[in-house]
Amino acid sequence: MLETTSSPRRRQKNRRACIQIRAAGEGMGMDTPDTVRTAPEVTAYAFAAQSGDVFPVCMKLAETRSDGAWGLRMALIRHVGPACPAAALDRACELMPHAVEPLLLRAARSLAMANLTMCAARRAWLKAADADLVAATKLDAMDVTARALLAERIGACAWVKQTLQAA
Protein backbone atom coordinates (compact mmCIF):
# COMPACT_ATOMS: atom_id res chain seq x y z
CA MET A 1 0.00 0.00 0.00
CA LEU A 2 1.36 3.40 -0.98
CA GLU A 3 0.45 6.53 0.88
CA THR A 4 0.57 9.97 -0.65
CA THR A 5 2.09 12.75 1.43
CA SER A 6 0.13 15.68 0.01
CA SER A 7 -3.40 14.46 0.71
CA PRO A 8 -5.23 12.22 3.19
CA ARG A 9 -6.08 9.75 0.42
CA ARG A 10 -4.42 6.36 0.03
CA ARG A 11 -3.53 4.41 -3.07
CA GLN A 12 -4.07 0.71 -2.91
CA LYS A 13 -3.59 -1.94 -5.57
CA ASN A 14 -6.58 -4.13 -6.20
CA ARG A 15 -6.64 -7.67 -7.64
CA ARG A 16 -6.29 -6.46 -11.22
CA ALA A 17 -3.14 -4.48 -10.34
CA CYS A 18 -4.96 -1.19 -10.90
CA ILE A 19 -4.59 1.57 -8.37
CA GLN A 20 -7.75 2.35 -6.44
CA ILE A 21 -7.98 5.67 -4.58
CA ARG A 22 -9.57 5.56 -1.13
CA ALA A 23 -10.01 8.14 1.58
CA ALA A 24 -7.79 7.70 4.66
CA GLY A 25 -9.34 5.07 6.92
CA GLU A 26 -11.90 3.87 4.37
CA GLY A 27 -11.97 0.10 4.24
CA MET A 28 -9.24 -0.18 6.84
CA GLY A 29 -11.32 -1.05 9.87
CA MET A 30 -11.79 2.55 10.98
CA ASP A 31 -15.26 2.85 9.51
CA THR A 32 -16.86 0.02 11.42
CA PRO A 33 -20.58 -0.55 10.91
CA ASP A 34 -21.23 0.19 14.58
CA THR A 35 -19.84 3.73 14.50
CA VAL A 36 -21.12 4.65 11.03
CA ARG A 37 -24.64 3.37 11.59
CA THR A 38 -25.11 5.03 14.98
CA ALA A 39 -23.60 8.49 14.54
CA PRO A 40 -27.00 10.16 15.23
CA GLU A 41 -27.41 7.94 18.29
CA VAL A 42 -24.04 9.06 19.65
CA THR A 43 -25.00 12.69 19.06
CA ALA A 44 -28.32 12.18 20.85
CA TYR A 45 -26.60 10.69 23.89
CA ALA A 46 -24.09 13.57 23.92
CA PHE A 47 -26.93 16.09 23.80
CA ALA A 48 -28.72 14.38 26.71
CA ALA A 49 -25.49 14.20 28.70
CA GLN A 50 -24.90 17.95 28.32
CA SER A 51 -27.91 18.54 30.54
CA GLY A 52 -26.42 16.26 33.20
CA ASP A 53 -28.38 13.09 32.45
CA VAL A 54 -25.65 10.45 32.15
CA PHE A 55 -27.72 7.44 33.20
CA PRO A 56 -29.03 6.65 29.68
CA VAL A 57 -25.54 6.60 28.19
CA CYS A 58 -24.29 4.47 31.09
CA MET A 59 -27.05 1.98 30.37
CA LYS A 60 -26.21 1.99 26.65
CA LEU A 61 -22.53 1.46 27.47
CA ALA A 62 -23.45 -1.51 29.65
CA GLU A 63 -25.51 -2.90 26.77
CA THR A 64 -22.64 -2.48 24.30
CA ARG A 65 -20.35 -4.25 26.77
CA SER A 66 -22.65 -7.27 26.97
CA ASP A 67 -23.17 -7.29 23.18
CA GLY A 68 -19.46 -6.89 22.43
CA ALA A 69 -20.07 -3.79 20.28
CA TRP A 70 -16.64 -2.33 21.01
CA GLY A 71 -16.67 0.20 18.17
CA LEU A 72 -19.92 1.76 19.35
CA ARG A 73 -18.73 1.63 22.96
CA MET A 74 -15.54 3.52 22.12
CA ALA A 75 -17.45 6.06 20.00
CA LEU A 76 -19.88 6.72 22.84
CA ILE A 77 -17.10 7.14 25.37
CA ARG A 78 -15.02 9.45 23.18
CA HIS A 79 -17.92 11.68 22.10
CA VAL A 80 -20.27 11.66 25.08
CA GLY A 81 -17.69 11.79 27.88
CA PRO A 82 -16.37 15.27 27.02
CA ALA A 83 -19.94 16.58 26.74
CA CYS A 84 -20.85 15.56 30.29
CA PRO A 85 -20.67 18.10 33.12
CA ALA A 86 -18.06 17.23 35.74
CA ALA A 87 -20.56 17.33 38.60
CA ALA A 88 -22.87 14.85 36.85
CA LEU A 89 -19.99 12.43 36.25
CA ASP A 90 -18.75 12.73 39.82
CA ARG A 91 -22.27 12.04 41.09
CA ALA A 92 -22.65 9.04 38.75
CA CYS A 93 -19.34 7.61 39.98
CA GLU A 94 -20.55 8.13 43.54
CA LEU A 95 -23.93 6.46 42.94
CA MET A 96 -22.51 3.57 40.90
CA PRO A 97 -19.22 2.67 42.65
CA HIS A 98 -18.97 -0.76 41.00
CA ALA A 99 -19.79 0.39 37.47
CA VAL A 100 -17.09 0.97 34.88
CA GLU A 101 -19.17 3.20 32.62
CA PRO A 102 -19.13 6.46 34.66
CA LEU A 103 -15.38 6.05 35.18
CA LEU A 104 -14.82 5.71 31.44
CA LEU A 105 -16.94 8.78 30.70
CA ARG A 106 -15.11 10.80 33.36
CA ALA A 107 -11.75 9.66 31.97
CA ALA A 108 -12.78 10.74 28.47
CA ARG A 109 -13.80 14.12 29.83
CA SER A 110 -10.48 14.47 31.64
CA LEU A 111 -8.57 13.58 28.48
CA ALA A 112 -10.55 16.15 26.49
CA MET A 113 -9.87 18.82 29.13
CA ALA A 114 -6.17 17.92 29.12
CA ASN A 115 -6.08 18.61 25.39
CA LEU A 116 -7.43 22.11 26.01
CA THR A 117 -5.09 23.13 28.83
CA MET A 118 -1.37 23.62 29.34
CA CYS A 119 1.38 22.58 31.78
CA ALA A 120 0.35 21.92 35.39
CA ALA A 121 -3.37 21.88 34.70
CA ARG A 122 -2.76 19.43 31.86
CA ARG A 123 -0.82 17.12 34.17
CA ALA A 124 -3.64 17.22 36.71
CA TRP A 125 -6.25 16.29 34.08
CA LEU A 126 -4.06 13.47 32.76
CA LYS A 127 -3.48 12.16 36.27
CA ALA A 128 -7.24 12.13 36.89
CA ALA A 129 -7.85 10.30 33.61
CA ASP A 130 -5.17 7.74 34.41
CA ALA A 131 -6.67 7.12 37.85
CA ASP A 132 -10.14 6.56 36.38
CA LEU A 133 -8.83 4.26 33.65
CA VAL A 134 -6.79 2.16 36.09
CA ALA A 135 -9.81 1.92 38.41
CA ALA A 136 -11.96 0.83 35.45
CA THR A 137 -9.48 -1.91 34.50
CA LYS A 138 -9.54 -3.15 38.09
CA LEU A 139 -13.35 -3.26 38.15
CA ASP A 140 -13.66 -5.07 34.81
CA ALA A 141 -10.46 -6.68 33.59
CA MET A 142 -12.17 -8.08 30.48
CA ASP A 143 -13.34 -4.68 29.20
CA VAL A 144 -11.01 -3.62 26.41
CA THR A 145 -12.09 0.02 26.22
CA ALA A 146 -10.36 1.16 29.40
CA ARG A 147 -7.19 -0.67 28.44
CA ALA A 148 -7.31 0.76 24.91
CA LEU A 149 -7.71 4.32 26.17
CA LEU A 150 -4.92 3.84 28.68
CA ALA A 151 -2.66 2.27 26.08
CA GLU A 152 -3.28 5.20 23.72
CA ARG A 153 -2.59 7.60 26.55
CA ILE A 154 0.69 6.27 27.88
CA GLY A 155 1.79 3.63 25.40
CA ALA A 156 1.44 -0.13 25.54
CA CYS A 157 4.70 -0.90 27.36
CA ALA A 158 4.26 1.80 29.96
CA TRP A 159 0.66 0.65 30.52
CA VAL A 160 1.78 -2.84 31.45
CA LYS A 161 4.32 -1.45 33.90
CA GLN A 162 1.82 0.97 35.49
CA THR A 163 -0.90 -1.67 35.77
CA LEU A 164 1.45 -4.15 37.41
CA GLN A 165 2.60 -1.53 39.91
CA ALA A 166 -0.97 -0.55 40.75
CA ALA A 167 -2.06 -4.15 41.37
In the chain, where are the structural domains located?
A: 1-31, 32-166
Given a contact cutoff of 8 angstroms between Cβ atoms, the answer to whether 86 and 112 are in contact is no
In a 13 Å sphere around the CA of 144, the CA atoms on its Cβ side amount to: 9
Q: What is the pLDDT of residue 4?
A: 40
Q: What share of the chain is helix, strand, coil (3-state, %, to 5)?
A: 70, 5, 25
**Please, what are the averages of pLDDT over each run of 10 residues along the chain (167 residues)?**
44 47 39 53 88 92 91 92 94 94 96 88 91 94 90 69 68
Residue 158 has a pLDDT of: 65
pTM of the model: 0.71
The pLDDT, as a whole number, for residue 153 is 81
